[in-house]
Structure 1
Amino acid sequence: MESRLERFREIIKEKKLLDSTLAILHWDIETEAPKGGQELLSQMIGNISLKAYEISTSEELNEIVEFLKNMKNELNEIDKKEIENYSEEMEKLSKIPPMEYKAYTELTAKAQGVWEKAKNENNFSIFKEYLEKIFNYNIKFGKYRNPNKNPYDVILDDYEKGMDRKKLDEFFKDLRENIVPLLKSIQEKKIDNSKYIDGEVSKCSQVLISRFLGEYLGFDFNRGIISESEHPFTLTVNMDDVRITTKYIKELPVSAIFSTIHECGHGIYEQGIDEKLKYTLLADGASMGIHESQSRFYENILGRSKSFWEPIYEKLQEKYTYLKDITLDEFYLGINDVKASLIRVEADELTYSLHIMVRYEIEKGIFEGKYKIGDLPEIWNEKMREYLGVVPENDREGVLQDVHWACGLIGYFPSYALGNVYSLQIYNKMKKDLNIEKILKEGKLHLIKEWLGEHIHKYGKLKNPEEILKEITGEGLNSKYYIEYLKEKYSKIYNLK
């Protein structure tokens, strides 16, 4: 058995090295690569993806895994879980024809550049053909994998195990019934606190603050970097090379603050995975929902609290000089201003999940044959009107605002809303173990990072989302803490009865 296990390790390490190479190529294509070089990079990504696919579905690896599955009682916890995870992934991949998989990876690599061009030129028609192909591939792949199941349910399960349309419909219904009335009550107040954060800040000053915030939160710059991209993201080469980006907008300087804090939440998670999981298939987040719970926890629960800024507000005022005459209390009101906005990444904490509902219902409608890709700009605008009461004036502010579909991340968006809910469940337990207010006021963020590392980060994929939640909170997904948090926080801010 030992020789088989050793060979399994060798093959998986080879696969992980290819994955790391792909990560670097994706980083390059999304940050530094010249436009003229994106065609070649896309071909390189397709070629290496095919090699990784061939390793994952090889007869040799399949035979080794089948042997080890029969010996699972003799395996340690890590080997057993990795064999289990690999078997699931291999089953998914083996049902997709290799050349179709290669073509799809090349398509999504190219589509990101096309999306950026379409967004910059405010021209959905440029991107339409690519988007149609991406959705068609996902529908086709879902059917390949399970012809007896709706392909969207198949895809949703990839991002959050056990999730499907029925569960999400109930989940979003609960959020909608509680958030929309609260939003209307706030809108009736007609209070505009955005004046406290309106201003202009040079890119240079924003870069310095982003670096400072990363260090303050505990992001390890010896094992990570921060750069700039059209759409902020986190990319992991491995746990010792975690790369995050933000976007600097001169006239919207607070944007970079919160995208940096958000991405640091992802990055700290990746850097906190136990060293013993390196080069295994478990060196990743438990799920996208759990991953988003970490980024949303840092961005909103910590980053939008007044206590977080108390020790560092003067530091922020030094670089964001327009804040010199804005008190911390006013700044707190500004960063928690509630306003129905067009852009998801700029959305306030309260309305954010409504943006996710728009995307979820569109994805579901496409998979169910209800919507056509060519009609998405109009469908998008109508749903924005229905849920948020605002309508984009152009596609740049509407259907083209997110890069996710260009990357092939179909079914990913619900993870953001799930992450919001998970984050409050986790926070509710953390408050019983730690004096969060005291920790924030004293600037001892390492204590929070250590708690998260011990309860979540170190496990990687060794534990699934349900196991993590139940071990921390004693229950599964429960939106009541999130809803109570929003009602309490914003009723206080807006003096609601």
Structure 2
Amino acid sequence: MGAFDDLMAFQRETEALAQVMGRLGWDQETVMPRGAAQQRADEMGALESVLHARRTDLRIGDWLAAVDEGALDQAGRAQLRHIRRSFARATKLPDRLSAEIARVTSRAQGIWAEARAADDVAHFLPILTEVVRLKREEAAALAEGGDPYDALLDDYEPGATAQGIAAIFDRMRPRLVELRERIMGSGRSPAALSGHFPTEGQMVLAREVATRFGYDWRHGRLDHSVHPFTSGSGTDVRITTRVDEGEPLGCLYSTLHEVGHGAYEQGIDPAYRLTPLGAGVSMGVHESQSRIYENQLGRSRAFCGWLHARMTELFGNSGAPDPDAFYAAVNRVHSGFIRTEADEVHYNLHIMLRFDLERDLIAGRLEVADLEAAWNARFLADFGLAVDRPANGVLQDVHWSVGLFGYFPTYTLGNVYAGCLYTALRAAVPSLDADLARGHAEPATAWLAAHLQRHGGLYLPGETIERACGFAPHEGPLMDYLDAKFGALYDL
């Protein structure tokens, strides 16, 4: 066991340093002075060089070869699986490339935020061109002759392929489009919320809802950022949100979404802390938690009844006179520009757009200079709307600025997984609606913690979902849920 113990001691130090780098990223997005961007980029690049050197340390290969896998328990074998995979990927990338990606994406994140605020695409395109060039180089090195996009996708959803995801999307798209057309032809048009919703009140409600959904404030915090995100694992898991005083649902449901991510990280078995098993197994599984918290639970008729009463206490008249009108407003279907504010019917169409565009970018079929035009043309075709300004179009997401190519499709995979989990959850917790109607999400989130979150990276992504649900994941439960929910809402 000496080799395994040495390997794990080394790995824990690497994981600890990675957490430090994540904290630098959190700081950059929340409280870092604007003038510190270049220095932070240098700091991130330096730390990435240290991490890359550790991840490619030749001793890892020696330790892996020396370990007697037959003497390990299930968790030990899973640790080896993750370490082998990470070592194989890291050794394909030169240190120069890893450090340059860290430096450039750190700079690009700040430039993107400036460009988004100013609706200035031209300000962002030069740095995005650098990011895409580097990610193409990384993809080629990792793919070793295979599909470059698959190589990037594997970083977020191990084992997934673009071809497999495209097949799922091809099965979903006709049902989504057909459902949307039926809704738009229903003659029903629920009113949106209206009024003034002060920041202080929104944050009070966001914190209260986070608590009701099981977020552990002893090991977490909630801050503001341009684009909501979750950072950290174990005993330090931080979430962010954003506030618009004319539209309270963005803050509330962004918070709930990030609480799902945060609760997953907080709920992992403490024995796995600062090891490869001590984080979510994939972004698709991670998104299954954020999406089920946000949608199947947070946007349910039962929970909306409680939420309507609470919002009336905090803000008075919100434009929704009763719980049914509030539920309809929360789930109002409309062809909006912003992915994070999209209803459940349109959301996956937003993801499909990004998936196709970023595949073309990595493959060289699309260049950065043509990206805005390609986005706008595709959006008009898919949503019937002409993009009115870049912040509502190609500049709305942070992902490409920080090099997260391959991440977007995991949102829809997360929705698919969430549909499966919700089917199992309803069977396992018969009191679910009654609980949510009282504002009690804990029975549902406790079931998710026990059946999925505590395992961290112990199992493969698909296996994680199958063990929790009792069946292999597929898109059927999600699509059936959407048909039933919106069929009832719009009397289809």
- TM, length-normalised to structure 2: 0.97
Partner of 1:318 in structure 2?
313
Out of 446, 450, 453, the position equivalent to 2:449 is 453
Flag the 1:207–1:444 CA change in 2: closer, same or farther, 3 A.
closer
CA distance in 1, matches of 2:253, 2:148: 34
Aligned-pair CA distance for 1:320: 2.5
Of all paired residues, the percent bearing the same amino acid is 30
CA distance in 1, matches of 2:10, 2:158: 26
Tell me which amino acid in the other structure corresponds to 2:345. L
CA distance in 2, matches of 1:409, 1:369: 17
Tell me how large the CA RMSD over aligned residues is: 1.4
Tell me which amino acid in the other structure corresponds to 1:449. T
* Contact residue 16 and residue 279 of structure 1 kept, 8 A: yes
CA distance in 2, matches of 1:126, 1:185: 41
Deviations 1:345-368 (A, max 9, x none): 111111000000110010111123
Residue pairs, 1:327-338, within 5 angstroms: 327-338=322-333
Partner of 1:140 in structure 2?
137
Aligned-pair CA distance for 1:312: 4.4
CA distance in 2, matches of 1:233, 1:190: 37
Q: Secondary structure at the match of 2:474?
A: coil
Flag the 1:325–1:331 CA change in 2: closer, same or farther, 3 A.
closer
CA distance in 2, matches of 1:444, 1:66: 50
Deviations 1:209-260 (A, max 9, x none): 1111111111011110000000001111x31111000000111111101101
CA distance in 2, matches of 1:427, 1:12: 35
Flag the 1:127–1:325 CA change in 2: closer, same or farther, 3 A.
closer
Q: Secondary structure at the match of 1:256?
A: helix
Partner of 2:71 in structure 1?
74
Residue pairs, 1:178-217, within 5 angstroms: 178-195=175-192, 197-217=193-213
Aligned-pair CA distance for 1:325: 6.0
Residue pairs, 1:96-495, within 5 angstroms: 96-195=93-192, 197-236=193-232, 238-323=233-318, 326-435=321-430, 436-495=432-491
CA distance in 1, matches of 2:441, 2:50: 42
Structure 1 moving runs of 4+ over 6 Å: none
CA distance in 2, matches of 1:312, 1:147: 52
CA distance in 1, matches of 2:357, 2:369: 12
* Contact residue 97 and residue 138 of structure 2 kept, 8 A: no
CA distance in 2, matches of 1:50, 1:207: 38
CA distance in 2, matches of 1:176, 1:199: 35
CA distance in 2, matches of 1:442, 1:393: 41
CA distance in 2, matches of 1:5, 1:465: 24
Partner of 1:15 in structure 2?
14
Deviations 1:40-75 (A, max 9, x none): 11111111111111111112222112211xx10011
Further displaced range: 6-15 or 172-181: 6-15
CA distance in 1, matches of 2:74, 2:438: 39
Aligned length: 491
Aligned-pair CA distance for 1:469: 2.2
Q: Secondary structure at the match of 1:222?
A: helix
CA distance in 2, matches of 1:309, 1:488: 17
Further displaced range: 55-64 or 260-269: 55-64
Q: Secondary structure at the match of 1:282?
A: helix
Q: Secondary structure at the match of 2:223?
A: strand
CA distance in 1, matches of 2:306, 2:173: 36
Partner of 2:50 in structure 1?
51
Aligned-pair CA distance for 1:144: 1.0
Further displaced range: 278-287 or 304-313: 304-313
Tell me which amino acid in the other structure corresponds to 1:161. P
Further displaced range: 273-282 or 183-192: 183-192
Partner of 1:37 in structure 2?
36
Aligned-pair CA distance for 1:99: 1.2
Deviations 1:441-472 (A, max 9, x none): 24332211221111100000011111122223
Aligned-pair CA distance for 1:190: 4.2
* Contact residue 317 and residue 324 of structure 1 kept, 8 A: no
